[in-house]
Amino acid sequence: MDVGLVRDIGSKALLAGAGALLLYWTISAVKLVLSARGINPLIKQFFTQVASGQIDGAYLLTTKNYRSHVNRQQFIRFLAGLQLNKYRNLKSGRPRLQEDQVILTVKLKTDDKDELPLDFTFSKIDEAWRIDRIQKPTAA
C-alpha cells in the first residue's frame, strides 16, 4: 500500500472519530440541560422556605422515598446542624445524570468565603422535580 493513502485514510478516520465524539458530547449536554430544567427554581424555593422558617414546606419538596427514610425531626436536626443562617450566597454546580436522577452540588458561601457544599439528588415525580437526597459530599 502507498504510505500517502494510509495516511489519508488515517486522517479521515481520526476526523470521523472526533466528529462522532463531539456529536455524542453535544447530544449528552443538550439532554442534560433539558432534563434538568426546573431544578434551580426548586432549589431556590427550598432555601427560601428554610430561610423564612417554613420547614414543613421545605420538607414537602422532598420525595416520599426521602420522607420514608428521614422523618421531620431528623430533617430539622439535619438543617440545624448545617447552620444555614451564616451563609449568604448560593452557587450551583454542573448537574450530573445518574440513571433517571440528577445530582447537583450546591455551594453555600459566607461573606468570609467559607463554603458548605451539599449534594442534592433530584427525582422527577409526576413531571415535577423533587429532592430525593441531601448530603454533604464525601471527601475524595
The tens digit of pLDDT for each residue in 85-112 reads 888 888 888 888 788 888 999 999 988 8
For the whole model, what pTM was predicted? 0.71
Sign of CA dihedral 113, 116, 117, 123: negative
For residues 94 and 110, state if they share a domain.
Answer: yes
CA distance 78 to 52: 17
SS3 label, residue 138: coil
Q: Provide the residue range defining the domain that includes 72.
A: 38-135
Question: Is residue 140 assigned to a domain?
Answer: no
Question: Is residue 52 assigned to a domain?
Answer: yes
For residues 94 and 27, state if they share a domain.
Answer: no
Looking at residue 126, which CATH number applies to its domain? Answer: 3.10.450.100
Question: Is residue 120 assigned to a domain?
Answer: yes
Domain total of the chain: 2
Give tens-digit pLDDT for 18-61.
Answer: 888 888 777 766 665 555 677 888 999 999 999 899 999 999 99
For residues 46 and 115, state if they share a domain.
Answer: yes
Backbone angles phi, psi at 128, to 5 degrees: -125, 140
Secondary structure (DSSP) of 21-52: HHHHHHHHHHHHHHHTTTHHHHHHHHHHHHHT
